[in-house]
Chains A and B, each alone.
Chain A
Amino acid sequence: MNEPSGCKGLNFFNPRGATMRGEVRVIKLILSGWLAAIVGFQLFAYLLESSYSELLLNDLTFFNLPIQFWLTGQFLPLWFIILCVLFNLWMDRHTAPSQEGSLRFRIKPIQREDE
């Protein structure tokens, strides 16, 4: 039982097949948004703290909350929810119906082929 030749060397950085290429592309976009927000907000807070006085940091508020408190504690979890929604919408539109069902019943035929 050999891998299809078009799938040899498949991995996250070397996606093969239209489905996997599309899926990896959207995963990379989502993870970029995820990482940029986490790292970006902390660097913003760090630079703000080191460059300006604490007073300025406390004067920047959003709905009563200091800006870094709001961005990290409230906006980031909301941003994660938005990213998850975007990912799900993309997957709902692009994933093949055969990949959406439970594979509990698809494993057995393959094992039989192997035997």
Chain B
Amino acid sequence: MSYGLIQFVPLAIVAVMFALFMFSGLRNRSKQTSEYGFSGSYTGRVGIGAGIASNWMSAASFLGLAGVFYMKGYFAMAYVVGWTGGYVLLLVLMATQIRRFGKFSAPDFVGFRYESDTARTLAALISIVISVIYCVAQFRGIALLVSWLFGIAYIPAVVIGTSLLVSQVVVSGALGVTRNQKLQYFVLIITFILPLMLLTRKLGYFWILPQFGYGAAIGELQQQFGFNCSEPFAGTSLFEWFALCFTLMFGTAGLPHVLSRFYMVPGIRDARWGVVWGLFFIALIYWSAPAYGVLARLLEARSGVPLYAGGADAADMIILTAAGLGGIPTWAIGLLAAGGISAAFSTAAGLLMNGSASFSFDIYPHLIRPNASERDKTYAAKGFFLVLAAIVMVLTLQPWGMIAEIAALAFAVAGNTIFPAFLLGIWWPRANAAGVICGMLAGLVISFAALLIGDSLPLVAQLFPFTSSAFIGAPLVMIVIIVISLLTAPPSAAIRLFISRNVHDCAEE
């Protein structure tokens, strides 16, 4: 990739894409509230699925996954399986039941189910922590793309990227622009797959289904360059693979912004079928992402570029590198850049707004200003949005890891805290506030244990790797919740009755 030059054509495509989303959002703003709101007409199950997929597709899916395949080969399959398998857990264990609770956010659910303001506040704080970590991954993607588009260094790109994101949210808010998620999904999938088809065609592989066509490149890499990217557990262990995979699955079923999709669909049946469509749309990206990593590796090998020459930054930009080395037209590279920046912008904006909403509705009126009016809460949300953006920007200046790895930490936190709280909250009426508070605190400690004491206690780092701690962590947290709940008073009869009757439809036999 050439740095130091402004990429005029890709920049123009990025600008056109954002203009398209703004125009579409303005045109549809009156319809949107009913589509994803609680009443009125909606776009159907395919539309709900596109909304789920669009909400899900972030820089981690668009840029990060191909980068991990490029760096780690088969090991990256843990991301594919983790990020798709989690939807099965979510659908069968939680989606339907969450709707039956009738609550509209993760802190709302925790506060209602466990009848505790402390548990609700803790869940809100954890939601903010998850949003911040997930946003750092998005901001890293934005900064790398801005750096490439404008030909500037990473640190100024972080600042410019943050300014652009905040400006977009402010302008969209001022104009009343809403996200047309269905359009956004279909634009994103085209910007991801069309350049891949062009690339595989240019290389002479089966380009109609590049998801299969890149298999020939794996053989070529092995035979001509001695590089085996399909070797299952080279340089890693079965435990590491399972730990990462299950952490991502538990995290998927516990991420507040993923769970929130189920509070906002008109009917349970539509919500369930929306998950199927959403999973199919997400799988389309994950069937394709490995191809970019493998083709980039092949093109670099053909050009004589040494392995891992560019480090994590280069790996996170590997889809653009593959497109550039493959010699596909500049407009197609621009499409990829536009898709990546759009995915990162929409996810980051959504997470920052979720985080600020958690602060203004769950923390500010309970801990800071008990008599806050609706107007005060709105100002608090706007102010906290800017504070969160600044915190994320400062954190992004530090090179924590690859985009997918940073995102995996957010999944680990969700898997260690929100997932056990929801799972036991739904399926074990005896779980109480004391149990869930201790459990969520234990989950936070487990999530950051490797970062805090991993150097002095290597066993902790091995058992709870920072990207994969929920594999052992989530069951441990459940044990904590169960033990503490059994040692303390049971929840009220009213909530147990509610769970029996309304959630599980259990009546006198």
User: Residues of A at under 8 Å CB distance from B?
Assistant: 1-7, 10-12, 15-17, 19-20, 23, 26-27, 30-31, 34, 38-39, 42-43, 45-46, 48-49, 54, 57-58, 61, 63-66, 68-70, 72-74, 76-78, 80-81, 83-85, 87-88, 91-92, 95-96, 98-104, 106-107, 110-111, 114
Contact = CB atoms under 8 A, between A and B. Distances in A.
A73 B245 CA distance: 12
Nearest to A61: B215
Given A68-B230, A101-B268, A102-B99, A27 B93 contact: yes
Given A54-B228, A57-B230, A58-B222, A4 B506 contact: yes
B272 A88 contact: yes
Contacts of B91: 84, 87-88
B266 A69 contact: no
Contact of A102 (B267, B430, B505): B267
Contact of A91 (B96, B494, B501, B508): B96
Contacts of A31: 88-89, 92-93
Interface stretch (B20-28, B280-288, B325-333): B280-288
B498 to A, nearest CB: 6
B154 interface: no
Contacts, number: 212
Interface residues of chain A: helix, strand, loop or mixed (majority): helix
B268 A99 contact: yes
B167 to A, nearest CB: 36
Interface of B: 38, 74, 77, 80-81, 84-85, 87-89, 91-93, 96, 99-102, 206, 211-216, 218-219, 222, 228, 230-233, 238, 241-242, 245, 266-269, 272-273, 275-276, 279-280, 283, 286-287, 290, 427-430, 493-494, 496-502, 504-509
B87 A84 contact: yes
Given A64-B213, A84-B276, A87-B91, A42 B238 contact: yes
Given A12-B427, A46-B238, A68-B74, A76 B230 contact: no
Contacts of B92: 26-27, 30-31, 87
A16 B222 contact: no
Contacts of B269: 91-92, 100
21 contacts: A2-B493, A4-B506, A10-B499, A12-B428, A16-B504, A16-B509, A17-B504, A30-B92, A31-B88, A58-B219, A63-B212, A64-B212, A69-B77, A74-B211, A74-B287, A92-B269, A100-B269, A101-B268, A104-B38, A106-B502, A114-B494
A63 B499 CA distance: 48
A26 B88 CA distance: 13
Nearest to B427: A12
Contacts of B232: 42, 45-46, 48-49, 57, 68
A19 B504 contact: yes
Contact of A84 (B99, B275, B290): B275
A110 B502 contact: yes
A61 B222 CA distance: 14
Given A4-B508, A77-B283, A102-B266, A65 B272 contact: no
Contacts of A43: 238
A102 B96 contact: no
A91 to B, nearest CB: 6
A61 B275 CA distance: 31
A78 B212 CA distance: 14
A17 B506 contact: yes
Given A103-B502, A110-B498, A65 B218 contact: yes
A17 B84 contact: no
A3 B88 contact: no
Contact of B500 (A7, A74, A80): A7
